[in-house]
Amino acid sequence: MSYLYPYIWRTTKLSIQAAQLTFPALHYAGRLLSESATIDDCHLQLIARDEAGHQLPEWTLNLEFYTAGTQMSLMIERQEQPEHPILWQGQNSVWMDAETGVKV
């Protein structure tokens, strides 16, 4: 797995930068959630903190990068917040209900 570290590190760094651009009042740190991350399947968690360094679970984002067919896909969701939709980005962008998986 050590050969994957540069890929995972770069993916995490770019994901954190994107989150911080989207939510400039927050600071993000990344954590790898996949115990067996591969180049085709990687699950990251972006942990949000405020200016004082307090963790903000309501702004924590879960990202899953995976291969679907021949294309890389990305699913983004807010941790443990089913009232917010999930974004699936593959060939097209699709917003889905977090509880049912139905397109919204």
Residue 74 lies in a domain: yes
Range of the domain at 63: 2-96
Q: Catalogue the long-range contacts made by 46-53 (C-beta closer than 8 Å, 24 or more residues apart).
A: 46/15, 46/16, 46/19, 48/19, 48/23, 50/25, 50/26, 51/25, 51/27, 53/27
Residue 43 lies in a domain: yes
Residue 102 lies in a domain: no
Number of domains in the chain: 1
Residue 54 lies in a domain: yes
Q: pLDDT band for position 90 (50/70/90)?
A: confident
Residue of 1, 28, 34 lying closest to 15 (CA atoms): 28
Residue 70 lies in a domain: yes
Residue 46 lies in a domain: yes
Q: What is the pLDDT of residues 22-43, one digit of tens each?
A: 999 999 999 888 766 666 788 8
Residue 23 lies in a domain: yes
